[in-house]
Structure 1
Amino acid sequence: MRRFVYCKVVLTTSLVWVLVDVFLLLYFSECNKCDDRKDHSLLPALRAVMSRAHEGPGEMGKAVVIAKDEQEKMKELFKINQFNLMASDMIALNRSLPDVRLDGRSVVCPIIDVISDETFEYMAGSDMTYGGFNWKLNFRWYPVPQREMDRRKGDRTLPLRTPTMAGGLFSIDRTYFEEIGTYDPGMDIWGGENLEMSFRIWQCGGSLEIITCSHVGHVFRKATPYSFPGGTGQVINKNNRRLAEVWMDGFKDFFYIISPGVARVDYGDVSSRKTLREALQCKPFSWYLENIYPDSQIPRRYYSLGEIRNVETNQCVDNMGRKENEKVGFFNCHGMGGNQVFSYTADKEIRTDDLCLDVSRPHGPVVMLKCHQMKGNQMFEYDAEYVGKWEYDIEKHTFLHIITQSCLTISRLEDGTWGPTVEYCNSSPLQAWVMRNFTRLEVFRKLYYSPTDYFL
């Protein structure tokens, strides 16, 4: 709660209330028969707007008396105030983003609060999450890592460096915005533009931060109001291919291999965007992962990216579309990527996106748990350096789970089914595994059953 004490001296943004005010002003001023309407769903929003007015007296805003008598008094209040008075006097429009003025290459975002699309209930967002993305290039919120907490010395009111932004809600110097190429004109409708701009800002010498004492509310709808020619997936995949081709260098393999179908999507001409990258002398994506997003779901160093095939059964480890804390399975190797794509990393993790293979107990089934960067499943009281780690023996072709000193194998589970588990190491071929490295060329040409390139 101490953070809120700090934030009292920090100018806060209230753009959302202006937007809601405009909407409500038009609604109440233009409707001549509002008394006849039975739909009072906007009243909670109006009360919310009015209730915020008293939070900023003096320079922060002008107090407004809240009418207790519902619709008529509210309607009259809106007619009297009109938009200009409301926007300039009642709502605080302070510049809470001074970093943009001090550093023209700094792009800043607010914490995004949630406004219910049904009740207009206002729910504050968290300052303990920041923007990231997964292998499929979906934007995700992840917990702020300890390294960023340490950089700010525990002061949560200081700007929070974020690898990516949600998009739409950010402040940027107009000259700088034009200098780095505005939005990619080859992208359509919606999707991918936030990651593309995030990569571009960081890789081309800018910075991206969340101002933790700046809050902007957003109404999250259950369905998109946009129409997507060719379908939502077609448009988003096109946009994602454009950002991957221009900014991700060889790390775009992760995107293509886990979602091989996107290779069929035409992404247009990106030559002008590549020329822009060269002109701006932008850094490689490896630099971004190393310096800006070291805890990315995409490992910076890895030994393999593809199938993990059992020598005896000739079947592959498969996530079966399951989620965190669920058992991993195995299935006939199909060579099409997707659920059978795993990366064995230099950190000795076996991961698929943000989930790592681990065991919840000795001799138990292999499950998928959140990758914790050297914290593993945290269920064993051992040196954290080895929890959740697997040692691959290149001669025996075995995966040794370091903490339990057991080998990855296929055996019968407690429920009677067969699946990956860990057992005492022996010479059984059920404990022998080979890893296959997919290549983009395979995905594009669909040479899924070409001569093998198993290398371990």
Structure 2
Amino acid sequence: MLRGGIDWSLQFHWIEVHSKSRSSPSSDFTMPIKSPIQSGAVFAVRRDFFSWLGKYDSSIGATGVEDIDLSLRAWLCGGQVDIVPCSRVGLIQTSRKQLGVQRVPFSTYLMGAKKVAELWLDEYKRFFYAVRPSARMQPLSNLTSSRRLREKNKCGGFKWFLSSVYPQLLPLVSDEIGFGTISQQENCVDLVPGQMPLIAKVRECKDGKDSQEWSWRKKGMIVSNGMCLTSDLDTMHGFVVVQFCKDPSSQGWYRNGLKIVHQQSNFCLDSKRGDVGLIIAECVENSPTQTWYISSEVAGPPNPEHDFTFAEEKAQL
């Protein structure tokens, strides 16, 4: 038996059903099956709930992405999508030629998928852009009303959807232990363009800004656009810059509570000179300028002094 799913390109797929997907632990195959996504051609929904969700998004069009958008809205806004094996849903199949509808251009699909990614995938949208990089070049329709509806309906986050509804949709990078923005209140670690090496500063957080998206790897490197946060007390005087990832001694970091600690110096990432650039400084307990939040985090790299496996991995780099 099958249920609906997606991949990171936001393409619909039928996937095999596992026993955990059933609404009841019974082996009765007539019982409803929880489905992450449902095809719009064969579904029924209560009219009042459909209206409360905001109906179909007309700006996405008939690309197939509109079904993904509606399914995500249903799950994240308090509903559920079930496949009921013994149900009967009628569909009058009409050809595109009879309807006067032409085949949907790929660019139209990309624009719709980009809107869904920006609206619902939260920090996981980076995986969509990883497999659909050309989507970055597509225009983005206005999200104001959609975001207002999401806030009004108190919809949840995509992280919950992955953990509770669709854990089979796995992140693309297996060695990540954290990703997204690195922030303090309303400010995020950002790259300042210019001559190499690039300077790392804190700036106002902005949704979808590439230079504020970071990937923290198991070996300690914090990466953005293929470049790593780097510091050295001797050659960089404690300033934090962004260089090509090649030197684990100056580019390794570990987590200590809410602090981000430089492995080589055991100094903490600090924003107290944020107008000039980030620095590493002696760690101070409860310092607000050394307190950092990461959008999505499993567990920061351990202190290499207390983890011999990590130390061996670092030596092999």
In the superposition, the TM-score normalised over structure 1's length comes to 0.38
| Matched residue, 1:189 | 62
User: Structure 1 residue 296: deviation in Å?
Assistant: 1.8
Aligned mate of 2:132, from 259, 265, 280: 259
Please show how residues 336-375 of structure 1 align to structure 2 within 5 Å. Answer: none
Please show how residues 140-289 of structure 1 align to structure 2 within 5 Å. Answer: 140-149=13-22, 151-216=24-89, 226-227=101-102, 232-289=105-162
**Equivalent residues of 1:238, 1:266 under 8 A apart:** yes
**Equivalent residues of 1:303, 1:345 under 8 A apart:** yes
User: Structure 1 residue 184: deviation in Å?
Assistant: 1.2
SS of the equivalent of 1:154 reads coil
| Matched residue, 1:452 | 244
User: Structure 1 residue 171: deviation in Å?
Assistant: 1.0
- Give a deviation string over 1:158-181, Cα, whole Å, max 9, x none: 111100001132111111111111
SS of the equivalent of 1:213 reads coil
SS of the equivalent of 2:87 reads strand
**Equivalent residues of 1:202, 1:288 under 8 A apart:** yes
- Give a deviation string over 1:259-306, Cα, whole Å, max 9, x none: 101111112111110110000000010011111111224479861799
Q: Distance in 2 between matches of 1:297 and 1:226?
A: 36
Q: Which amino acid aligns with 1:452?
A: F
| Matched residue, 2:163 | 290
User: Structure 1 residue 187: deviation in Å?
Assistant: 1.4
Q: Distance in 2 between matches of 1:222 and 1:345?
A: 49
The alignment of Structure 1 onto Structure 2 pairs a total of residues equal to: 197
**Equivalent residues of 1:241, 1:267 under 8 A apart:** yes
User: Structure 1 residue 253: deviation in Å?
Assistant: 0.7
Structure 1: unaligned runs, 5 residues or longer: 1-127, 307-343, 347-391, 396-434, 442-449
Q: Distance in 2 between matches of 1:300 and 1:169?
A: 34
Q: Which amino acid aligns with 1:227?
A: Q
**Equivalent residues of 2:5, 2:36 under 8 A apart:** yes
Root-mean-square deviation (Å): 3.8
SS of the equivalent of 1:214 reads coil
**Equivalent residues of 1:305, 1:438 under 8 A apart:** no
In the superposition, the TM-score normalised over structure 2's length comes to 0.53
User: Structure 1 residue 440: deviation in Å?
Assistant: 11
Cα 1:250/1:143, change in 2 over 3 Å = same
- Give a deviation string over 1:28-78, Cα, whole Å, max 9, x none: xxxxxxxxxxxxxxxxxxxxxxxxxxxxxxxxxxxxxxxxxxxxxxxxxxx
**Equivalent residues of 2:76, 2:156 under 8 A apart:** yes
User: Structure 1 residue 156: deviation in Å?
Assistant: 1.0
User: Structure 1 residue 213: deviation in Å?
Assistant: 1.1
Residue identity over aligned pairs, in percent, reads: 27
Q: Distance in 2 between matches of 1:253 and 1:217?
A: 38
Q: Distance in 1 between matches of 2:216 and 2:87?
A: 38
Which segment drifts farther, 285-294 or 168-177? 168-177
Cα 1:452/1:270, change in 2 over 3 Å = same
Please show how residues 45-444 of structure 1 align to structure 2 within 5 Å. Answer: 128-149=1-22, 151-216=24-89, 226-227=101-102, 232-298=105-171, 303=176, 394=219, 437=223
Q: Distance in 2 between matches of 1:187 and 1:136?
A: 15
Q: Distance in 2 between matches of 1:136 and 1:165?
A: 16
Structure 2: unaligned runs, 5 residues or longer: 180-214, 228-241, 252-316
**Equivalent residues of 1:248, 1:285 under 8 A apart:** yes
